[in-house]
Structure 1
Amino acid sequence: MRPVPLIVLAQLLGTSLWFSANGVGDALMRDWDLLPADIGTLTAAVQLGFIVGTLLFAVSGVADRFAASRVFLVSAITGATANLALAWLAQDMTTAAVYRFLTGFALAGIYPVGMKLVVSWAPERRGEALAWLVGMLTLGTATPHLLQGLSLGLAWPWAVTFASLLAVTGGGLVAWLGDGPHLARSSTLQWGGAFRAFARPGFRAAALGYFGHMWELYAFWVLVPLFVGALYPQAPSGVVALLAFSVIGLGAVGCVLAGRLSRTLGSARVAVIALGISGTLCLVYPWLTGVSAGLALAALLVWGVVVIADSAQFSALASAHAPPEGVASALAIMNSIGFGLSALAIPLTTALWQDMGAGVSWLLLPGAVLGLLAMRPLLARGHAQIPENS
């Protein structure tokens, strides 16, 4: 098989771990007597684990010192094991949060390492290749909702278990493929080297834009089932899960389209367009819910397309402007900070959901505004295109 499609498929399978608890959120709330804020706490635990993992990878330089394909495999197995523990061992919020944290820690060796692997096989078209990769991350994120919607009455641990099996399969595919021929490896562990990437203006602008994007992205994904459930309060939980899958899963289409457009418009322009549209939807969505459920659902579907479409373009810009021998570490530290912001946005919005309802989307708007402001230097200086020699 061609390397990029194989890595993209592995990313889909590996990241199915991410929202396992959210995909079965209705069943968890029923079985454990939880509130929506508790599901937000479990998601924040995953984000926190990912933050700690990416920070450790970035500061130590592990992802640039050892074979990326082997790091991916070990991380997939570790994450799958922690996910299985959620399904069959957890009995309360405390143990569930611990297993979710461990899953997030393992995902630090899947997502940013997967980006490095794609660049190592196709550096000349990183914007489009990374768009496919993030598209599969999006489908992987949505997969637990699909598994729960199609579970046919099976208990929720089986949907979580299947996600673990998918992750192990993805790790095996990457281990079989190995690293790409354009992969720069560091001969030693470079402690703290990742932070030096921020001295580069291009990397700094892309990273700050990404941070604004991340304030919105994962909080929106967590809120999607709540948004849909509020629009259709009488719908069966399986229907709500399938609609949530559709909203989140359509982001894969947005990623692919953004990757195509980046070849002509440039990654910076595409990222700004997508972030501008999603920011507009943050602002207007609460008003749309008062017009009709159908119109609000249509807005959610569009929002699902654009909210993730800019992500790969931020990563492409950052990887192009990062030190060549420290790409994985630079992307890892960028991911760590970005997910740290998402870990703040998720509990904030879910805790205020019962009081504000759809109005919580207004809390996501500052991320889009600040992200757009941060990207101005890349556009103004003519860096909308990826440098040819990257």
Structure 2
Amino acid sequence: MSSDANNDSLFSSFQKWRNLILLALAELLAMTLWFSASAVIPQLSSQWNLTTGQKAWMTMSVQVGFVVGTLISAVLNLADRFSNRYLFAISASCGALFNGLIALFPVSAQSTIIFRFLTGAVLAGVYPPGMKLTATWCKKDRGMGIGLLVGALTLGSAMPHLLNALPFFGADGMPPWRSILTATSIMSILAAIITALFVKAGPHLSQTAPFNWRYAGQGLAYKPTRLANFGYLGHMWELYAMWAWTPIFLIDCYQNSQWSLTAARLAGFGVIAIGGISCVIAGVLADKMGRTTITILSLVISGACALLVGCFFEHPVLATAVCLIWGFAVVADSAQFSTAVTELADSRYVGTALTIQTSMGFLLTLFTIHLIPWLKDMIGWQQVFMVLAVGPALGILSMACLRRLPEAARLASGNK
């Protein structure tokens, strides 16, 4: 009996890690769609003479679409009523289609923004369902599991910058932007295949729930999840504006010192990609040391980097070093806010709670993504990122308040 029990345990562990790794791979491939157009803004600007506003909308349109998609999903409880793996696969396929249409047909800046909006809308069926699927395989190590998924998302978000930096498509200078978009669409199709055919839900949080639109508002009505969501909002105030504009900041920084443009693009990829490592590390530490402890520490470091990074615009090496530290810290806490919600919310509607959390967060990013280029034209790169430090400050306050609540004992198996 003992031998059979050990065999069952080993098989369960194998199944768990097989599904988590495949799901992380699918998330990485699908989320390459997010910054596919943002990474090739220099090429698009050269072809279409984009205004500052149009450049911002190449990223903001995805955010707007994602917010609309997540609101619809949350109200309809899609992530709790339907199979998450099929929802993921269908959404990734639709995202590949909308993204691919930009590359395969003659388009203008205006029609590209519309297709980017549609891409963002269907990605609402990729990210939150992916987190819930991960949570079905994890209980005591849920922070690590969702950290692995968000790390994969981070690497996927950085991937277009890598494709744009290296001569994968036989280009000596800037690679053809249509090739970058086509490549990311192919990656998203692979993500859909992996999820539909090889990923299964685990034993936790796997039950389906009846439709109840009222649960879309529970994330703010219930104080513990409200504070976790406020912490997440402080984090999101900073994250996507940093991801969207730091690679552009580094390009200007390197060009200002007459450094290699390819090196600048690689640095931009590294600044985002390094967060893939920090998400997993922070997840492991948060499961042992506490959710609020790790989120507060991450927010302190990222906020400090936001205040300091502009001071090194004239010094590419130092600017890159600070950006790498910032990239490591700025997303390290992301999965822990979501994990906290899975531990605090009604277990029947975890998918809806995660969807509404991400909807609120990405709605906020619209403001800061648009704010940064506008402020940059007014005050320059040296000071513009300081405004992002407001988010970490408010996030720290929210998580400190959550830590004091009795319900915080449900976080990380009692590790606040």
Q: Report the Cα offset of residue 66 of structure 1.
A: 0.5
Q: Residue 309 of structure 1 aligns with which residue?
A: 332
- Is 1:160 aligned to 2:185, yes or no? no
Equivalent residue for 2:295, pick from 256, 266, 271: 271
Equivalent residue for 2:221, pick from 172, 181, 199: 199
- For structure 1, the 5+ residue unaligned runs are none
Q: Distance in 1 between matches of 2:224 and 2:88?
A: 28
Equivalent residue for 2:272, pick from 234, 244, 248: 248
TM-score, normalised on structure 1? 0.95
Q: Distance in 2 between matches of 1:67 and 1:97?
A: 30
- Is 1:331 aligned to 2:354, yes or no? yes
Q: Report the Cα offset of residue 36 of structure 1.
A: 4.5
Superposed counterparts of 1:288-299, under 5 Å: 288-290=312-314, 292-299=315-322
Q: Any idea what SS the aligned residue of 1:183 has?
A: coil
Q: Distance in 2 between matches of 1:345 and 1:279?
A: 15
Q: Distance in 1 between matches of 2:337 and 2:159?
A: 24
Equivalent residue for 1:344, pick from 367, 375, 380: 367
Q: Mean Cα displacement is larger for which, 351-360 or 202-211?
A: 351-360
Answer whether contact 1:197 1:323 (CA < 8 A) is retained. no
Q: Residue 123 of structure 2 aligns with which residue?
A: 107
Q: Distance in 2 between matches of 1:265 and 1:385?
A: 13
Q: Report the Cα offset of residue 267 of structure 1.
A: 1.4
Q: Residue 195 of structure 2 aligns with which residue?
A: 174
Q: Distance in 2 between matches of 1:339 and 1:110?
A: 14
Question: 1:348-372 deviations in whole A, cap 9, x for unaligned?
Answer: 1122222222221012121111111
Q: Residue 411 of structure 2 aligns with which residue?
A: 386
- For structure 2, the 5+ residue unaligned runs are 1-14
> Considering only aligned residues, what root-mean-square deviation do their CA atoms show, in Å?
1.8
Q: Distance in 2 between matches of 1:38 and 1:356?
A: 20
Deviating beyond 6 angstroms after TM superposition, the runs of 4 or more aligned structure 1 residues are: none
Answer whether contact 2:238 2:368 (CA < 8 A) is retained. yes
Answer whether contact 1:268 1:384 (CA < 8 A) is retained. no
Q: Residue 320 of structure 1 aligns with which residue?
A: 343
Superposed counterparts of 1:275-290, under 5 Å: 275-290=299-314
Q: Report the Cα offset of residue 191 of structure 1.
A: 1.8
- Is 1:357 aligned to 2:395, yes or no? no
Letter in 2 for 1:88: L
Q: Residue 31 of structure 1 aligns with which residue?
A: 47
Q: Distance in 2 between matches of 1:384 and 1:275?
A: 21
Q: Distance in 2 between matches of 1:123 and 1:313?
A: 13
- Is 1:189 aligned to 2:214, yes or no? no
Q: 1:242 to 1:375 in 2, by over 3 A?
A: same
Q: Report the Cα offset of residue 24 of structure 1.
A: 1.3
Q: Mean Cα displacement is larger for which, 203-212 or 169-178?
A: 169-178
Q: Report the Cα offset of residue 311 of structure 1.
A: 0.2
Question: 1:8-39 deviations in whole A, cap 9, x for unaligned?
Answer: 11110110100001121211111111244422
Q: Distance in 2 between matches of 1:237 and 1:159?
A: 18
Q: Distance in 1 between matches of 2:393 and 2:187?
A: 37
Q: Any idea what SS the aligned residue of 2:413 has?
A: coil
Letter in 1 for 2:379: M
Q: Residue 8 of structure 2 aligns with which residue?
A: none
Letter in 2 for 1:266: G
Answer whether contact 1:26 1:237 (CA < 8 A) is retained. no
Answer whether contact 1:279 1:369 (CA < 8 A) is retained. yes
Q: Residue 20 of structure 1 aligns with which residue?
A: 36
Letter in 2 for 1:348: L
Q: Any idea what SS the aligned residue of 1:49 has?
A: helix
Q: 1:187 to 1:295 in 2, by over 3 A?
A: closer
Q: Mean Cα displacement is larger for which, 212-221 or 377-386?
A: 377-386
Equivalent residue for 1:97, pick from 113, 120, 124: 113
Q: Distance in 1 between matches of 2:342 and 2:271?
A: 28
Q: Mean Cα displacement is larger for which, 190-199 or 26-35?
A: 190-199
Superposed counterparts of 1:28-107, under 5 Å: 28-89=44-105, 91-107=107-123
Aligned residue pairs, count: 389
Q: Distance in 2 between matches of 1:345 and 1:29?
A: 21
Q: Distance in 2 between matches of 1:136 and 1:166?
A: 13
Q: Distance in 1 between matches of 2:264 and 2:414?
A: 47
Q: Distance in 1 between matches of 2:317 and 2:183?
A: 32
Q: Distance in 2 between matches of 1:223 and 1:50?
A: 19
Q: 1:187 to 1:130 in 2, by over 3 A?
A: closer
Letter in 2 for 1:370: L
Letter in 1 for 2:148: W
Q: Any idea what SS the aligned residue of 1:354 has?
A: helix
TM-score, normalised on structure 2? 0.89
Q: Residue 128 of structure 1 aligns with which residue?
A: 144
Q: Any idea what SS the aligned residue of 1:189 has?
A: coil
Q: Report the Cα offset of residue 209 of structure 1.
A: 0.2
Answer whether contact 1:268 1:385 (CA < 8 A) is retained. no
Q: Residue 7 of structure 2 aligns with which residue?
A: none
Q: Residue 398 of structure 2 aligns with which residue?
A: 374
